[in-house]
């Protein structure tokens, strides 16, 4: 149970709170489909990755892809969830041209993964636990193309049969920020696990958002009793495909519901579509129009039975996940905020760790990345993997600053050089005379420390280097401070 206070929505008749649950479809990273050997590459030419099974040909039978099962279990373990050693595939029956079999194979009553939990990392450094209801495996449908011909629709079955995990949260989120944070954290966990590439642009991760509103206090009653009557009627918003859209959709939908109720209307349970162009949701179909899917166990597939030892083997091979990494980085000296920012993306965490492995102190590395390097990447619109400067090079810069070989100012200049020209940072510093004066003359430093009067030699060097523009008094004062000389 969380101690956080709900973000309240002001209405004409009082305060409301928002309750949000999410259903996320995550495509399993796999070479082949859930029940066939066909390939799954994104962007292939239409109908080039379709087996007879995916096309629903007569007499074809599904055969479960063990790799996909392993990824689902891996994900379940990453969500600290219960792994069900026996699960069942069901048929969800409905007619649609991009559903060649006339049914989708899914898991309805007995999913492979049961209850788990995710910790949301909020911007203020706090964490919020959100329950996971279940995770189940299912096959994706194909794609109908209605804009290719004036009088026909076309169907691309490349996606037909691709393995998906549907991850369902409990209704434990209470603001648009939390909903976006849920998607962000789930995506990070999937990417750390390597079970989904989390690529929302290519549709490898799609979110359906369930939104309801209730009077202030209703949610706490729901959490205390588990009774859904304390919550409002929910609307499901389909296919919200970015963190930003999730936040927008929640904001719009909650306000719509409050306004409707306050005007004397009632919320009907329905499926709504988010239109990202105008930032609004609109009705797709009501509960009455909902299909009767006639679920029943797929007789072509035996119940999926897992060995505990196999699950244990997967558990033993799990990588370090964001929460554990964050804890470790905090212990290494990072602030909770810096740690959260770094672990949020697997790439930034890996990059950071590569710098630490190159002998850089954690705090200095984090500051450098968060203040300098990641900012430049953002400005240039580059992903970490596409950035021009290696972790080793950035580590060298931070190391030289820490050793007083170069100043902070020179470090930034050096990064500019590396960014545009590349090269070895130490060699560049040497070749272009970027070393701090003290760093260039270590033997003189020792002499000055023994005989402080000799400091004037350094003042002279600085005056020379600055072309006589430096203030000798100021240079003297800085020198004394830097070299720890008595006044």
Partner 1 sequence: MTLPSKLTDFSLAEARDAVQAKKVSSKELTTAFVKAVADARPLNAFVTETPEKALEMAVASDVRIAHGNARPLEGLPLAIKDLFCTKGVKTTAGSKILGNFVPPYESTVSQNLWDAGAVMLGKTNMDEFAMGSSNETSHFGPVFNPWRARNSNANLVPGGSSGGSAAAVAGNLCLAATGTDTGGSIRQPAAVTGTVGIKPTYGRCSRFGIVAFASSLDQAGPMTRTVRDAALLLKHMASVDPKDSTSVDIPVPDYEATLEDGVKGLRVGIPKEYRIDNMPPEIEQLWQKGIEWLKAQGAQIVDVSLPHTKYALPTYYIVAPAEASSNLARYDGVRYGHRAAGAKDIVDLYERSRAEGFGKEVQRRILIGTYVLSSGYYDAYYSRAQKLRTLILRDFTEAYKTCDVLLTPATPGPAFGVGEKTADPVEMYLNDVFTVTVNLAGLPGIAVPAGLTANGLPLGLQLIGKAFDEATLFKAARAIEIAAGFTAKPTEWWRAA
Q: Which residues bind partner 1 (CB under 8 A)?
A: 52, 55-64, 91, 93, 95, 97, 100-103, 153, 155, 292, 294-296, 299-302
Cβ proximity to partner 1: between 16 and 103 the closer is 103
- CB 306 to partner 1: min, Å: 15
For residue 96, what are the contacts with CB-CB under 8 A and spacing of at least 6? 141, 144
Round to whole Å and give the CA distance between 187 and 198.
Answer: 6
- CB 151 to partner 1: min, Å: 11
Cβ proximity to partner 1: between 295 and 310 the closer is 295
**Paired strand residues for 390:** none
Specify whether the CB–CB gap between 415 and 373 falls below 8 A: yes
* Burial environment of residue 2 by CB neighbours within 10 A (0 to 12, 13 to 18, 19 or more): middle
- CB 182 to partner 1: min, Å: 30
> Within a 13 Å sphere around the CA of 204, how many CA atoms are in the beta-carbon half?
19
- CB 91 to partner 1: min, Å: 5
- CB 107 to partner 1: min, Å: 15
Cβ proximity to partner 1: between 301 and 439 the closer is 301
Cβ proximity to partner 1: between 64 and 284 the closer is 64
- CB 292 to partner 1: min, Å: 5
* Burial environment of residue 369 by CB neighbours within 10 A (0 to 12, 13 to 18, 19 or more): buried
- CB 81 to partner 1: min, Å: 26
Q: What is the DSSP string of 328-392?
A: HHHHTT--HHHHHHHHTSHHHHHHHHHHHHTT--HHHHHHHIIIIIHHHHHHHT--GGG-SS-HH
Cβ proximity to partner 1: between 288 and 443 the closer is 288
Cβ proximity to partner 1: between 8 and 64 the closer is 64
Cβ proximity to partner 1: between 289 and 292 the closer is 292
> C-alpha distances in angstroms, 310 versus 71, 303, 315?
12, 17, 9
Long-range contacts of 48-51 (CB under 8 A, 24+ apart): 48/158, 49/158, 50/157, 50/158, 50/160, 51/161
């Amino acid at each position: 149970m969380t101690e956080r206070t709900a973000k309240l929505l002001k209405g004409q008749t009082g305060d409301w709170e928002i309750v949000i649950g999410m259903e996320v479809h995550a495509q399993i990273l796999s070479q082949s489909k859930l029940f066939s050997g066909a390939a799954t590459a994104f962007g292939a030419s239409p109908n080039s990755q379709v087996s007879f099974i995916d096309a629903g040909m007569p007499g074809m039978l599904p055969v479960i892809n063990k790799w996909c099962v392993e990824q689902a279990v891996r994900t379940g373990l990453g969500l600290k969830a219960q792994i069900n050693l026996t699960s069942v595939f069901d048929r969800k029956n409905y007619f649609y041209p991009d559903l060649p079999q006339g049914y989708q194979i899914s898991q309805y009553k007995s999913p492979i993964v049961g209850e788990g939990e995710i910790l949301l990392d909020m911007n203020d450094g706090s964490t919020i636990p959100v329950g996971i209801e279940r995770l189940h495996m299912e096959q994706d449908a194909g794609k109908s193309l209605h804009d290719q011909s004036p009088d026909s629709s076309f169907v691309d079955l490349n996606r037909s049969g691709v393995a998906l995990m549907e991850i369902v949260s409990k209704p434990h989120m209470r603001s648009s920020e939390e909903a976006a944070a849920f998607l962000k954290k789930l995506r990070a966990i999937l990417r750390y696990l390597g079970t989904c590439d989390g690529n929302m642009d290519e549709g490898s991760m799609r979110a359906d958002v369930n939104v309801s509103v209730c009077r202030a206090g209703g949610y706490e009653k729901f959490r205390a009793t588990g009774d859904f009557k304390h919550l409002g009627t929910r609307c499901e918003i389909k296919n919200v495909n970015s963190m930003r859209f999730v936040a927008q959709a929640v904001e719009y939908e909650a306000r719509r519901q409050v306004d409707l109720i306050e005007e004397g209307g009632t919320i009907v349970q329905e499926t709504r579509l988010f239109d990202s162009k105008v930032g609004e949701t609109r009705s797709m179909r009501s509960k009455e129009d909902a299909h009767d899917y006639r679920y029943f166990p797929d007789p072509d597939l035996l119940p999926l039975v897992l060995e505990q030892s196999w699950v244990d083997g997967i558990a033993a091979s799990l990588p370090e996940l964001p929460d554990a990494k964050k804890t470790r980085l905090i212990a290494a000296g990072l602030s909770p905020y810096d740690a959260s920012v770094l672990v949020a993306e697997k790439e930034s965490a890996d990059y950071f760790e590569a710098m630490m492995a190159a002998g850089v102190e954690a705090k200095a590395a984090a500051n450098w990345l968060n203040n300098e390097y990641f900012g430049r990447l953002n400005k240039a619109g580059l992903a970490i993997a596409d950035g021009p400067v290696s972790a080793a090079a950035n580590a060298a810069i931070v190391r030289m600053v820490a050793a007083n070989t170069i100043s902070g100012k020179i470090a930034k200049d050096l990064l500019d050089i590396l960014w545009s020209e590349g090269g070895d940072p130490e060699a560049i510093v040497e070749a272009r005379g970027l070393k701090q004066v003290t760093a260039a003359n270590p033997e003189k430093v020792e002499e000055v420390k023994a005989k402080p009067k000799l400091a004037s030699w350094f003042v002279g060097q600085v005056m020379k280097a600055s072309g006589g523009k430096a203030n000798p008094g100021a240079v003297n004062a800085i020198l004394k401070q830097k070299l720890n000389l008595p006044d």
